[in-house]
Amino acid sequence: AGRGFCAGQDLNDRNVDPSGPAPDLGLSVERFYNPLVRRLAALPKPVICAVNGVAAGAGATLAMGCDIVLAARSAKFVMAFSKLGLVPDCGGSWFLPRAAGRARAMGLALLGDSLSAEQAAQWGMIWQVVDDAELKDTGLALARHLAAQPTYGLGLIKNALRLAETQTLDQQLDLE
C-alpha cells in the first residue's frame, strides 16, 4: 500500500554510524532478501502481487518473483542496479530474462530505464494492468477467486510451470 510498491533497498539502511564503515549490501541481500525470494518461490500456493507506483531494484525483482502480477496503470518497473554500479540482486538476473527475454533483460538491466506497466504487460512480464483506483479491489477479487479453487491443484500447477523452465519435455510429461 502507499504511493509505491517498493523502491528497492535503501542503500543507507544498514549504516547507523555515518562515520563508520559502509554497510555490506551483499550481506544484507544474502541475509534478508534472498531468503524472502526463496520462500515466495517455495510457497505451495500462488502468490499475487499488486504493484502501485514504483517497483525499483529489489522491488521489481520481488514482483517478478510472484506468480501473478497486477499493476496499476501508473506503475513503473525499474532495474536501476547498473546506475549504482551494482549487479541485479534478489534473483533479478534469473527472473528478468525469463520474464522479458534475453534481449529485453539486457536492455533493462544495462540501461536502468523505467518500464511502464503497459509495456511490462505487452512484454508478458506481468499478468494485467488495471486502473489505479481498481488495483486493490482487483487484487482482492483475484485472491478470493483463487482461494475458492482447488488450492492443492493450483499448487501443483505452480510447481509444474516452475519446473518447466529447466526440464526437458520428457521430464515434464512424466511430471504431468
Span 67-86, pLDDT tens digits: 999 999 999 999 988 888 88
pLDDT given for residue 28 in this prediction: 75
Residues paired with residue 114 on neighbouring β-strands, in sequence order:
78
Span 145-161, pLDDT tens digits: 999 999 999 999 999 99
Contact 76, 115 (CB under 8 A): yes
Residue 39 has pLDDT above 80, yes or no: yes
Q: Set out the domains of the chain in order of their start, with CATH numbers.
A: 25-175 (3.90.226.10)
- Compute the mean pLDDT over every residue in the chain, rounded to the nearest whole number: 89
